[in-house]
Amino acid sequence: MLPLKHILTGFFLLTLACSSSLPKHDDIKVQSKVDSEKVLIVYLSRTNNTKAIAQIIQEKIGGRLVALELATPYPENYQSIVAQVAKENESGFLPLLKTKIENIEEYDLVFVGFPTWGMQLPPPLKSFLSQYDLSGKTIVPFNTNAGYGIGSSFETVKKLCANSTVLEGFSIKGGIERDGILFVMEGEKEKQAQEEVEKWLKKLNLQ
């Protein structure tokens, strides 16, 4: 039978060997897929549904959040804004933006969020994409709509960002302003949006 001293020595050496093979706490690091300081999230939101998606994106990967505002705001009346946007789309008019984004060259990843208006990209987004040089950047569109889908909006983003890399966009049903259904991103709908955005970001390898 081995002396107790030898048994204890063997046990100590075995414990030391096992513990040395385990990772130390300082070596376990969670690394983000993107540099949040290089992320810009620009959005247009009339009923705050697109804003809610923009905020979810920011919660997931960080970044700077910027709301697009016009020098001359659209009318509050729904029918009036529909008529004005239709004229702007027909004529190609680009409304003047009140929002100014300094040092946009510092951002590598630019999210652009918007509702579907008249099955097209809203004119303020056309203004933004035409005004700023996004060449070489990665552009990620996201959208809320009344249930009719994205229309031609994502294709327009690609055309206006011909010198950028445009990733797969995200779309979700929001409110229906025509029917008086405005902000809906709360409760179960908010939970659904959180899950769908996270799934989308992971698919794009951004989270």
Q: What is the DSSP string of 171-190?
A: EEE--BGGGTB----STHHH
**What gap in Å lies between CA 193 and CA 170, rounded to an integer?**
11
Q: pTM for the full model?
A: 0.84
In words, the CATH class of domain 33-203 is alpha beta
Residue 10 has pLDDT above 50, yes or no: no
Task: Place 14 in a pLDDT band, splitting at 50, 70 and 90.
Answer: very low
Sorted by sequence, the CB contacts under 8 Å of residue 185 that are 6+ apart come out as: 48, 49, 52, 53, 174, 193
DSSP 167: P
**Ramachandran area for residue 80 (φ above 0: left; ψ -120 to 50: alpha; else beta):** alpha
Mean of pLDDT values over 26-45: 75
Sign for the CA dihedral angle at 143, 148, 150, 153 comes to negative
3-class state of residue 46 by DSSP? coil
**What gap in Å lies between CA 45 and CA 60, rounded to an integer?**
20
Task: Place 32 in a pLDDT band, splitting at 50, 70 and 90.
Answer: low
What is the pLDDT of the chain when averaged over all its residues? 88
Residue 181 has pLDDT above 90, yes or no: yes
Tens-place pLDDT, residues 138-150: 999 999 999 999 9
Task: Place 15 in a pLDDT band, splitting at 50, 70 and 90.
Answer: very low
**What gap in Å lies between CA 145 and CA 131, rounded to an integer?**
25
What residue spans define the domains of the chain? Answer: 33-203
pLDDT of residue 23: 34
Share of the chain above pLDDT 90, in %: 84
User: Which two structure tokens, joined as six digits, stand for 170?
Assistant: 């995200």
Mean of pLDDT values over 82-92: 97
Task: Place 135 in a pLDDT band, splitting at 50, 70 and 90.
Answer: very high
Contact predicate 136/163, CB 8 Å: yes
Buried b (16+ CB within 10 A) or exposed e, 174-195: bbebeeeeeebbeeebeeebbe
CB atoms within 10 A of CB 149: 13
Residue 12 has pLDDT above 50, yes or no: no
Which region among 32-41, 155-164, 176-185 has the lowest average model confidence (pLDDT)? 32-41
Mean of pLDDT values over 34-49: 97
Task: Place 30 in a pLDDT band, splitting at 50, 70 and 90.
Answer: very low
